[in-house]
Amino acid sequence: MMVDLGSFTDEKFDPKKWINTSTTQSRHPQDSLEKHLSELEMKLQMISEEISASLEEQSAAALLRVPRASRDVIRLRDDALSFRTSVSGILLKLKKAEGSSAESIDALAKVDIVKQRMEAAYETLQDAAGLTQLSASVEDVFASGDLPQAAETLANMRHCLSAVGEVAEFANVRKQLEVLEDRLEAMVQPRLSDALSNRKVDAVQDFRQILNRIGRFKSLELHYTKIHLKPLKLLWEDFDLKRRTNKLASEKHGESLGSISESSNSLPFSSWLPSFYDEVLLYLEQEWKWCMVAFPDDYRALVPKLLIETMVTFAPSFVSRINLATGEVVPETRALAEGILDILSGDTSKGTRVQKKHLEALIELHNMTGTFARNIQHVFSESDLQILLDTLKTVFSPYETYKQRYGQMERAILSSEIAGIDLRGAVTRGVGAQGIELSETVRRVEESIPQAIVLLEAAVERCISFTGGSEADELILALDDIMLQYISALQETLKSLRTVCGVDGTGDGIGSRKEMGSDRKEGAHHSRRMDSISDEEEWSIVQGALQLLTVAYCLTSRFSVFEASLRSTLARLSTNLSLSVFGSSADQNQSHVGNNEGNGELSMAGKASLDMAALRLIYVPDKAQSLFNILDQVKYIMS
């Protein structure tokens, strides 16, 4: 019979109730209660006896196991003590072994150093023996005509000499090696020239490997440049050839001297230059493609160096042609065969001055070169950044002389244009005409204001077009000087109005004391004249004076607008130049300028937007520092 023992643990357990319930459930209905209880009692006694006997048996067995467990515990404790003693001994041995091992390692290291030195000495002796053998057999290698083997022999000799070091016994061998390298280079050059001229890729690569093996790759660069410079020089000399042909043709037909001069200039440099650039660009593109196959490791630097050498060779005549081309646009300088540089240096025979047409012609040529530079940047896009910078700088180098003198040119142009504005002073007229003279003079002053603004704005455009804003500091100085010139002319005009209006003797400090005080007759004359002025004319003079105040306000407002526009242009220029040169915000320009002197370190953003102004500022850090200081001041004023 299974009994649920869970009910015995219940706090509300009632023994009587449980017995009654259990008895009722297990008793058969026909059995009496007394009989059923007696049977249960008997079963309970039997189970109790069995439990008691089992407990006695289990207790006896447990008593027998206790001594055995005690012995096991004692044995385990002894084993643990023994193990701890063994571990302590092992640790002591390890400490002793560590000390002896360090000494052994130090000894082995010293032995290894000695071994290495002995091996190096052995190799040096072998190199010395090999150097002697190579020195003795090198003439036979040269006599065989095997240039790759000769290059390998010389390379081995160079290696042996570097291993031997500065040993007096081999000083002659060192000199002999230099002579032999020069000799091998001289043997390679004619064959290399033939291979380059005939586009023999395999032969060119073999000769490149030979020169590279003996450390004379620079010779290949020079030879490549020398060979390919010739056709480019022919392209450059084509201009002079065509002009001479035109001149000879004119002389042959018996034209007059004047017509000969005109016909000899029938091919302007500005018309010829784009075609020259196109032919050079086509030539360089072909060379770039061929060098990609012939010099897969060197074409990114080899072709740009060809262009750099070409432009350096052409630079003096390029500057001269630009000078003459700028002079041809003006009849006076064309007749004298003089240009901007001649005028600026004061070498002109008739004292001619720089005109706007001269500078416009220069800007036109510069724009042509800018187009060529952008095409070159595209063709050489795979070249290293520094090589690309050097190449583009050389392309623009003929204009550097002109850019350095931009401020002088702009001052001369603006000064001449401002002087050409009609600012005639007022002249004394008869009685009744003073008001008319005043009105006409004020009108001329009023009309001069927009003319002056247009001239100044054109100067800003020329500066950006020609220098990219890199000469903005010179532009600001030139504008300042010209505005002073214009204001001085206005002051002289206003002084002339004082006489017309009869107020030159008021003693306000503008007229001279002699005119106001010493010449009393003249003052009396003016007094009588003012007495004779009619009311209508006097009113016209008052109206002219009021109109003059309006003109003064217009002058102030128009120049304020121009100044604000100029500051905005300079601030935008500062941001653009900073992004182009440094690839960062304009506020960081000063620290970048100091860290990039001459290094041409541009970010990728700067490489993408590279222009001539950025090139100039990279290579002239002092100029860049000065320019950015001025532009920062402008931005600070605007903020």
pLDDT tens track for 422-480? 887 666 655 556 667 777 888 888 899 999 999 999 999 999 999 988 899 999 999 99
Average pLDDT over residues 345-365: 83
Residues 6+ apart with CB under 8 A from 102: none
pLDDT of res. 502: 62
Average pLDDT over residues 163-174: 57
Across the chain, how many H-helices and E-strands are there? 24, 0
Percentage of the chain lying above the pLDDT 90 cut: 28
Residue-wise pLDDT tens digits, 491-537:
888 887 777 666 555 444 334 444 444 444 444 444 444 444 556 66
pLDDT of res. 211: 85
* pTM (two decimals): 0.69
The pLDDT-based confidence of 409 (bands split at 50, 70, 90) is very high
Residue-wise pLDDT tens digits, 250-263:
666 655 444 444 44
pLDDT of res. 549: 85
Q: How far apart are CA 357 and CA 269, in angstroms?
A: 15
The pLDDT-based confidence of 205 (bands split at 50, 70, 90) is confident
Averaged pLDDT score across all residues of the chain: 78
Residues 6+ apart with CB under 8 A from 208: 217, 220, 295, 298
Q: Map out the domains of the chain with their CATH numbers.
A: 116-215 (no CATH), 217-404 (no CATH), 413-503+529-638 (1.20.58)
Highest mean pLDDT among 95-109, 274-288, 617-631: 274-288
Average pLDDT over residues 173-189: 76
Task: Kindly tell me if the per-residue pLDDT of 350 is higher than 80.
Answer: no
Of 108-112, 225-229, 330-334, 577-581, the poorest mean pLDDT is in 577-581
Residues 6+ apart with CB under 8 A from 130: 156, 160
Q: Which helix (H) or strand (E) holds 180?
A: helix 171-197
Task: Kindly tell me if the per-residue pLDDT of 90 is higher than 50.
Answer: yes
pLDDT of res. 617: 85
pLDDT of res. 317: 94
Task: Kindly tell me if the per-residue pLDDT of 614 is higher than 60.
Answer: yes
Average pLDDT over residues 548-577: 88
Answer whether 581's CB lies under 8 Å from 618's CB. yes
